[in-house]
Structure 1
Amino acid sequence: MTTTVRTELIRPGMCGHNSLFAGQVGDWTWDAVGEACGTDVLRARSAAGTPAYLSFYYYRVRGSRRFHLRSPAFGDELHVASRVFGFGSESVLTLHRISRSPEAAAEPIEPEGFYAFADPDSLYVENFNRWVSRTAEGSNEGLARSSPPDFRYRHLPVVPEEYSPRHAYVRARQQLTFLDHHGDRPGAELTVDYEVDPSRDLNGAGLLYFASYFSIVDRALLLAWRGLGRDDRSFLDRVVVDQQLCYLGNADAGSPLILTVRQWLRGGDADSEAFDVVLRDKGTGRLLAVCSLQLETGTSE
C-alpha cells in the first residue's frame, strides 16, 4: 500500500509560530515511507551497519490565505492523506494533502490533481527524502547517500517527469531561488549571522534538525521584517502561501552560519511579495540551504 489516511487532533506540541507543524508533517512522512517500503525508518542501518537516516532534501508547503502553514491551532481535527512515490533505491517522494474535512482526505492523491493546488481549504506538502549516513563519526559534514538493504522501492508509483521535484531543486541549487523573478522588483537585502544552537537546533541523532532550518529562516526573515519598519504583530500575522526549501548540507553544533535575505516585490501585485533566504557556512562559504517564500500581504481572498 502506497497511500495512507490518518486523522490527527492538533495538540500544543504540533503547532504554533515556530517549526513544530513542519516537524510534525516530517514525522508523518517517515511513517508513510516506513509503511509503504517495509523499512524501520527509526532504526534503519546501511549495508555497512552504520545508522541510515531518511534525510530531507526538498520540502514544499503550498496553501492559501484560508489554510497555510501556521493555520493549525489547538484542538483542530485534520485529515491527512499521504502517498509515497519512488525515485530509485536511495530517494523517495511523499505527497501529503492535509484537510479539515474527511471527504477531502478520502480522495485519491494523483499528481495531476495534487499539483493543481485547487482546494483553498487544503494544505499541500511535498517531501523529497534521501537516505544518508555519516562519513566521519561525530561530524555532520560530508553526509553520504546510504540506503538500508531492506528498503523496498520497486513497487512504488512514479510521478510524471513534469511534476518531478528535481526541476525545482536543481533551479534552487543553480540560481539560489525557486522562483522566476522576471517582472519582480528587488527590494531590501539583509545579511544575518547565526550560530547553530546545541540547545535547540539538533535532533536526537545529533544532526541539524530539518525543521530547525524553518526556524532559522524565520529568524532571518524577522530581522528583515523589522528592517522594513514592520512590527512583530504583523510578522506573526504573515500569510506564507508557498514555501520551498532545499537542504544542501548539514552543520555541527556551534557552527557559524551566514544568511542572505532578499525581498522581491511581485510584478504589479500590491498584495504579494517574496523572499529568498540562502544559508551558508560562514567559514567556508559551503552552501547549506536555499529557501523561497511567497507571502500574501493584503486582505483580499
Structure 2
Amino acid sequence: MNVALPPDAFAVTAAPVCEETLLLGMPQLCLAGLSETWLLKELGHRHWMGLAQMAGRAVPDFRDASGEPVYAAFSALSVTDADFARVRENDRITVRSEIRRISRTQCASRHTLTSAGRPIGTVHLVSAFVRRAPGGGNHTVARVALDGFPPPDRPEATGLAARAAAFRAGRGEAEARFGLEPDEAARAVLEIDPCPAQDFNGAGFLYFSSFIAFIDRAEWQFDSRRAPLASTRSREVYFHGNIDPGERVVVRRLASRRDAGGLAHHCRLERAGDGARLADVFTHRNL
C-alpha cells in the first residue's frame, strides 16, 4: 500500500515494491469489465509515488537546479496477458508493483494483477524525467537527469524501453508481433478535440491515459458493430510528443486485422495542426 510517510522514514532503495488488494466498484469498471482507463491512472500514480520512494522522498516533488518542476512523462507502456473481462462489481484485484531505474533519465515499473488467485494481466510503464523550456509549452519538453537516485540497472536489450527506442529509430517490429501488415485500404481517420477538464493532468500535459481513451473512441467509431464489448488482450504504446490545451488530435488507423478470435490494429495519434507524431499504439482486443 502506498502510504505518505515523513521524509526520514524513507531510505533510497533500488527497487521499491508495494502490493495492495482493491475492491472493485463503478469507478474501476466499464461495460466490458475492468476499466483500462482507470487502471492506467492508478498505475501511473503508483509509478509516480514509487519514484519518490526510490529517491528517499515522502512526495514526488522533483525540481531542476533552477527550481523549475520536473515531471515523469511516460515514454512507453505495454499491457500483456490481459483478461479484464473476468472481473465484475465487488470482485477484488491484487496489484503488485515494483519500480527501478534503467538509465540516467528513465525508470521502469512492472505491475502484476491477479483476481481470486488468477492472473488477469501485467502492465509495464517506462517514464523519462522532463521539463519545459522557460516560457514554453508542451512542445518544448526535454529530458533531464536528476540526482538522488540509486545507480541504474543494466538495461534490458529486449525490454519495453529498448523496443520503444528501436521503433523510434525505424527498427521496430511491433506490427509483426501483433500480426499486422500495413493496409492502405484499411486506413480511417478520427479528429478529436481534447477537453482540458477531462483529458489533461494537473501538470498541464495531455494525460497518458487519455491517449488510450482516444484509441478506444476511434475503435468504437471504426468497428463498433464488430466489437461492441471489446476487451484488451494486449497493447503496446510508444509516446513521442504532447499537445497544449486547445489543440486537436488526429487518430489515424494504419493497419488492422479481424478474425474470429479478436481485433488488432495499429493507430497513430498526431497533432492536427502540424501532423507531428504523438504516439503509436498497437492493440489486440478480445471480442
Q: TM-score, normalised by structure 1?
A: 0.78
Deviation at 1:274, TM superposition (A): 1.1
Pairwise CA RMSD: 2.7
One of 153, 178, 185 as aligned partner of 2:150 = 153
Deviation at 1:175, TM superposition (A): 7.0
Separation in structure 1 between the aligned mates of residue 172 and residue 253 of structure 2, nearest angstrom: 11
One of 224, 249, 266 as aligned partner of 1:276 = 266
Identity percentage over the alignment? Answer: 20
Separation in structure 2 between the aligned mates of residue 200 and residue 176 of structure 1, nearest angstrom: 32
User: What amino acid is aligned across from residue 144 of structure 1 in structure 2?
Assistant: A
CA contact (8 A) 1:196 1:251 kept: no
How many residue pairs are counted as aligned between the two chains? Answer: 267
User: What amino acid is aligned across from residue 95 of structure 2 in structure 1?
Assistant: V
User: What amino acid is aligned across from residue 180 of structure 1 in structure 2?
Assistant: A
Higher alpha-carbon deviation: 38-47 or 75-84: 38-47
CA contact (8 A) 2:124 2:160 kept: no
User: What amino acid is aligned across from residue 125 of structure 2 in structure 1?
Assistant: N
Matches within 5 A, 1:1-301: 1=13, 2=15, 3-16=17-30, 19-39=37-57, 42-64=60-82, 67-68=83-84, 72-101=87-116, 121-137=119-135, 139-150=137-148, 152-154=149-151, 157-158=153-154, 160-171=156-167, 174=170, 178-180=174-176, 184=180, 186=183, 188-226=186-224, 230=225, 234-235=227-228, 237-265=229-257, 270-297=260-287
SS in 1 for 2:215: helix
Deviations 1:49-75 (A, max 9, x none): 1111111110111124xx23x655443
Separation in structure 1 between the aligned mates of residue 55 and residue 283 of structure 2, nearest angstrom: 32
Higher alpha-carbon deviation: 246-255 or 173-182: 173-182
CA contact (8 A) 2:104 2:146 kept: no
Which sections of structure 1, spanning at least 5 residues, go unmatched?
105-119
Deviations 1:4-48 (A, max 9, x none): 222223343333366222211111222223223324553211222
C-alpha spacing 1:175/1:88, structure 2 compared with 1 (3 Å)? closer
Which sections of structure 2, spanning at least 5 residues, go unmatched?
1-12
Tell me which stretches of 4 or more aligned residues in structure 1 moved more than 6 Å: none
Deviations 1:91-143 (A, max 9, x none): 10111111124xx6xxxxxxxxxxxxxxx733110000011111143611111
Q: TM-score, normalised by structure 2?
A: 0.82
